[in-house]
Amino acid sequence: MAGSKTKLVTPEAALPGRSTPIPTADRHAVLGTALKAPLTTSQQEALFGCGCFWGAEKGFWRLPGVVCTAVGYAGGYTPNPSYDEVCSGATGHTEVVRVVWDVNAIDFSDLLKLFWECHDPTQGMAQGNDTGTQYRSAIYVEDPELLRQANASRQRYQELLSAGGRSEITTEIASGQPFFFAEAYHQQYLAKPGSRPYCSARPSGVLLDGFEGASYKLPPTVWSHYDWSIDHCVLRGENSPIQP
């Protein structure tokens, strides 16, 4: 699908939201780390929107060097939205994964490689069978250098997609987008007993190579755990982190 005709709500029409955060989990169900711990001097964070956040989160928490992941909402107007409000399209948010990583163990370029390869960034307000503004592709970072790397990776991935006759990337890349934690039910959903094995991501099969600012740290053996020729492949992997 080239894209959805769904349009973002305007700030004036967005739901009012609430002043207090939606209750969420305290610790990561797989990694055991605190979801809201402050960053240390050797850590950085970024927000990634890759369609339904259930499968996307699992893809990121398995990478060596990732300290913590959490799902939530960003890129909209409504403060502290609920899942139902986001899914209504009346908040302007997209579903995102907040990723915190150890800069000594993994580079932002490794995370960008997973981001571009794990979904189809050309689908507009949709991903796979899921349609709506909450499924749009996005990267939100605050650090100017990370912002430059994200844009450089987008440029390179577009060149690779275009060489294969594919559409234009619709991914939003921006700063200044607050993150709101999703409900406890959604955190590390795919690792929980009784979870529904669902992921809407439709990878293009195109692999990201080098780009300006890239400094990959993960060895090829890590990427062998991801087969982007298969839709929803994150569902087929183990929940535990990959051992490099």
Over residues 127-155, the pLDDT tens digits come to 988 999 999 999 999 999 999 999 999 99
Alpha-carbon distance of 96 to 81, in angstroms, equals 13
Q: What is the mean pLDDT of residues 52-76?
A: 97
The yes-or-no verdict on residue 200 having pLDDT over 90 is no
Helices (H), the chain: 53-61, 83-87, 108-118, 144-163, 220-223
Residue 106 tokens read as: 């993994």
**Please, are residues 95 and 88 in contact by the beta-carbon 8 Å criterion?**
no
Percent of the chain with pLDDT over 70: 97
pLDDT, residue 244, reads 81
Domain 20-221: give its CATH code. Answer: 3.30.1060.10
Spatial separation of the C-alpha atoms in residues 112 and 94, rounded to whole Å: 18
Q: 196 falls in which pLDDT band (50, 70, 90)?
A: confident
pLDDT band at residue 221, thresholds of 50, 70 and 90? Answer: very high
pLDDT band for 229, please (50, 70, 90 cuts): confident
Mean pLDDT computed over every residue of the chain: 94
Query: What end-to-end distance do the CA atoms of the chain give, in Å?
Result: 35
CA distances 147 to 28, 105, 144, Å, are: 27, 20, 5
Collapsed DSSP state (helix, strand, coil) of residue 11: helix
Catalytic positions are 52
When comparing pLDDT for 80 and 233, which is higher? Answer: 80
Residue 233's pLDDT is what?
66
pLDDT above 90 (res 236): no
Q: Stretch 92-117: mean pLDDT, rounded?
A: 98
pLDDT band at residue 4 using 50, 70 and 90 as cut-offs: very low
Band of residue 3 on the pLDDT scale cut at 50, 70, 90:
very low
- Section 167-190 average pLDDT: 97
